Amino acid sequence: MDHRMCFGNEALSSMMDERSSLIEKALRYMEQTRMEIVRNFQLFLKEYEAEKQEIGAERRRIIVRNIQMELMTKFIQREDTLLTESIAQLQKETEDAKRKIQEAWNTESKKRLVNQLHEDLWTERRFRNPEMARKMMDKVEGLKINLQKLQEELINEIKEREKLRHVKETYQQELLTKFEEKEKLQQIKEIYLRELMTKMEEKKEISRRREELHHELMKKIKERERLCNLKRACQHQLMSYHRKKQAENERFVPRKLFLFNIDTFVCPPMPQCEPQMKPKYEGTSIQPKYDSCQSVVSLSKANANPTSRRGLRNWLKKFFGRK
């Protein structure tokens, strides 16, 4: 028995009222149908009896007339065979008619018996038994008590389910809050990781740029050293060339003297600054310094002695009478 819809005394009372109203409607409808069946059956019997009387008289007349006509035809033809056949056919037809009448009577009697049984059943059902009614009421009361118990059990189960649902909701809310906190922490971790990755990438970029700058500086330094070495070598070659040329041209003859047909002239001795310059040239040629270009420039400036040039220039001026 399904008690899922029983949730109170009001619902049970309304259900019982509906059930009683439906039973009353069904009994009323069955009574009306029974009365209609009885009325129709009575009318049918009356009509059947009247039709039977009318049909019986007319059928007898028709049968007798047909027999007479057939007999007259047979006697007129005076054929014994046809007469016997006609008599046999008439017997067969009469037997068929009797059989049909008997079948119709049997069916009619069966219908009558069925209707009588139906009426008897309905009349018996109308009688009431107080003992059965008391038993039924006891059963109904027991069912009511069982329904009340079931309702109480259902109410208790519903309350327990509500409590469990409330506990589940609170637990789910706590889980959701924890999950949201975990998601926030995960997002913060991701943000920190991204920042760290960006910083690492920036550091890598800075280190790469430093390496590039270092390589460029090393290249520049190497080029500068190479240029300084070339410059030193060129200066050394120039100085060696000048020394060789000075050693070769010990006797200096000015170009203007050839215009006056002067073949020889007395040259004074070399100035005293020349032996002082030789060890400088020799020191610079033997021990060159390759530290930087500034040292080379300072050596080149030191090697260039302005006093010796001035003394030579003054001596030439004195020789040619310009000073």
- Output 319 or 222, whichever has higher pLDDT: 222
Task: Tell me the C-alpha distance between 12 and 16, whole Å.
Answer: 6
What is the predicted pLDDT for the residue at 14? 65
Q: What is the pLDDT of residues 80-114, one digit of tens each?
A: 565 566 667 767 777 787 777 777 777 777 777 77
Looking at per-residue pLDDT, the higher value among 172 and 133 belongs to 172
pLDDT for residue 281 is more than 70: no
Q: What is the pLDDT of residue 89?
A: 73
Q: Tell me how crowded residue 19 is: count the other CB atoms within 10 A of its CB.
A: 10
| Cα-only R_g, the chain | 76
- Selected residue with higher pLDDT from 169 and 249: 169
> In the 8-state DSSP scheme, what is residue 8?
S
The 3-state DSSP class for residue 261 equals coil
Asked which of 183-187, 217-221, 290-294 is least confident by mean pLDDT, the reply is: 290-294
* pLDDT 10s digits, 194-240: 999 999 999 999 999 999 999 999 999 999 999 999 988 888 888 88
pLDDT of residue 81: 61
Distance (Å, rounded) from C-alpha 126 to C-alpha 31? 10
pLDDT > 90 in the chain, percent:
18
For the chain, give the percent of residues with pLDDT over 70.
53
> Taking a C-beta distance cutoff of 8 angstroms, is the pair 39, 33 a contact?
no
Q: Name which residue leads in pLDDT, 323 or 199.
A: 199
Q: In which band, very low, low, confident or very high, does the pLDDT at 292 lie, cut at 50, 70 and 90?
A: very low
Rounded to whole angstroms, how far apart are CA atoms 150 and 312?
Answer: 142
pLDDT recorded at residue 7: 43
pLDDT of residue 203: 92
How does the average pLDDT of the chain come out, rounded? 71
Q: How far apart are CA 26 and CA 32, in angstroms?
A: 10
- Residue 151 vs residue 32, higher pLDDT: 151
What are the structure tokens assigned to 82, written together?
């046809």
Given a cut of 90, is residue 188 above it in pLDDT? yes
The per-residue pLDDT for 52 is 67
Q: What is the pLDDT of residue 283?
A: 44
DSSP-H helix ranges across the chain: 9-77, 80-126, 130-248, 273-286, 293-303, 306-319
SS3 assignment, position 249: coil
pLDDT for position 282: 44
Report how far residue 304's alpha carbon sits from residue 273's, in angstroms, rounded to the nearest whole number: 12
pLDDT tens across 106-139, in order?
777 777 777 777 676 666 555 556 777 788 788 8
